[in-house]
């Protein structure tokens, strides 16, 4: 390979020509070298082939309607005869442009597909959050309704309030009973309960015609206004300390608080 050919190949003009980045003067010179020197023509053909392979590997099949539209346009376009070198350059430029367009189309399609999938995912999350919010609202409305009903009962002029305090055995014990004899309802609000051993519990009783009736267990964890059974003509309320599971009969000797209702 003579020095002139070697100098030309090392100049980078052939690479620029393949990429369509040469000026008109540079393009004319490259084309003349390709025609005059077989070594340069072979190198050009090899480089063109390699570039086409790369373009095909990265290309994405275009929609069929695009190909049909291009063919229709070609049928309507007058054919212009070009010399061998010019035709080769134009066709190569077209193939590179088509490959680049295909890559852009593929990238855009992938981008919009990913955006669409993300939007669907976000929509599912939002729908789930809306369902959770609706459930929370429903629960809050139910709770609010319960509280309002309780307030109506407490604010009823017929409702009588009884504060039950502990004796020496349970000085920190304090509960409040609300009894409405007209509507026959009873509620109790646990304010404070001293700690007990695990095997013991507090239990509330109603004194009725000489006997004690079980109204339920008082639990420190249940510190809220709650209903208890209403006992007609009850004379008193009493709180005792009982052994868990053995509380059918009140242990009057273990009473820690009591109050008369009449």
Residues sharing a CB contact under 8 Å with residue 141, sequence separation 6 or more, in sequence order:
none
* Residue whose C-alpha is closest to residue 228's, from 179, 174, 183, 186: 186
> Is the pLDDT confidence value at 85 over 70?
no
User: What six digits make up the tokens of 166?
Assistant: 């502990």
89-98, 173-182, 234-243: least confident range:
89-98
What are the C-alpha distances in Å from 237 to residues 209, 254, 256?
A: 13, 14, 11
pLDDT for position 80:
47
pLDDT for position 62:
53
* Residue whose C-alpha is closest to residue 65's, from 38, 105, 36, 113: 105
pLDDT for position 95:
59
pLDDT for position 237:
92
The distance from CA 143 to its chain's CA centroid, rounded to whole angstroms, is 27
> Is the pLDDT confidence value at 217 over 80?
yes
DSSP-derived letter for residue 227 is: E
> Is the pLDDT confidence value at 130 over 80?
yes
Instruction: Report the distance separating Cα 73 and Cα 94, nearest Å.
Output: 14
Give the full edge-to-edge strand order of the sheet including 160-165: 160-165, 174-180, 185-192, 225-228
**Locate tokens 């509620």: which residue?**
187
Mean pLDDT of 154-165: 83
152-161, 186-195, 237-246: least confident range:
152-161
User: What six digits make up the tokens of 161?
Assistant: 């309030």
DSSP letters of 123-176? HHHHHHHHHHHHHHHHHHHHHHHHHHHHHHHHH-TT-EEEEEE--TT-TT-EEE
Higher pLDDT pick, 107 / 152? 152
pLDDT in tens, 28-66: 988 999 998 888 888 888 887 776 665 555 555 555 555
pTM of the predicted structure, to 2 decimals? 0.45
* Residue whose C-alpha is closest to residue 204's, from 190, 216, 196: 216
Average pLDDT, the chain: 77
Q: Are 167 and 256 in contact (CB under 8 A)?
A: yes
* Residues forming a β-bridge with 228: 186
What are the C-alpha distances in Å from 14 to residues 36, 40, 51, 54, 88?
A: 14, 9, 13, 17, 14
Burial class (CB in 10 A: 0-12, 13-18, 19+), 168: exposed
pLDDT for position 156:
76
Which pLDDT band, with edges at 50, 70 and 90, does 91 fall under?
low
pLDDT for position 15:
82
Mean pLDDT of 75-81: 54
Which pLDDT band, with edges at 50, 70 and 90, does 82 fall under?
very low
């Amino acid at each position: 390979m003579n020095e002139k050919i070697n100098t030309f190949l090392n100049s980078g003009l052939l690479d620029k020509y393949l990429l369509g980045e040469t000026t008109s003067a540079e393009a004319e010179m490259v084309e003349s070298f390709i025609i005059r020197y077989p070594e340069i023509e072979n190198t050009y053909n090899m480089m063109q082939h390699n570039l086409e392979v790369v373009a095909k590997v990265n290309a994405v099949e275009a929609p069929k309607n695009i190909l049909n539209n291009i063919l229709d346009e070609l049928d309507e376009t007058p054919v212009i005869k070009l010399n061998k070198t010019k035709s080769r350059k134009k066709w190569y430029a077209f193939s590179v442009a088509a490959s680049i367009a295909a890559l852009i189309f593929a990238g855009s399609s992938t981008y919009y597909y990913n955006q669409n999938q993300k939007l669907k995912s976000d929509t599912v999350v939002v729908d789930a959050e809306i369902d959770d919010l609706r459930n929370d609202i429903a629960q809050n409305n139910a709770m609010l309704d319960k509280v309002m009903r309780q307030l109506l009962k407490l604010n009823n002029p017929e409702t009588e309030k009884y504060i039950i305090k502990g004796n020496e055995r349970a000085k920190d014990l304090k509960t409040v009973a609300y009894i409405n004899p007209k509507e026959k309802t009873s509620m109790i609000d646990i304010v404070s309960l001293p700690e007990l051993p695990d095997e013991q519990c507090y239990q509330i009783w109603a004194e009725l015609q000489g006997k004690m009736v079980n109204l339920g267990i008082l639990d420190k964890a249940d510190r809220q206004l709650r209903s208890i059974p209403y006992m007609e003509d009850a004379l008193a309320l009493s709180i005792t300390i009982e052994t868990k599971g053995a509380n059918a009969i009140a242990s009057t000797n273990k009473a820690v608080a009591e109050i008369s209702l009449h």
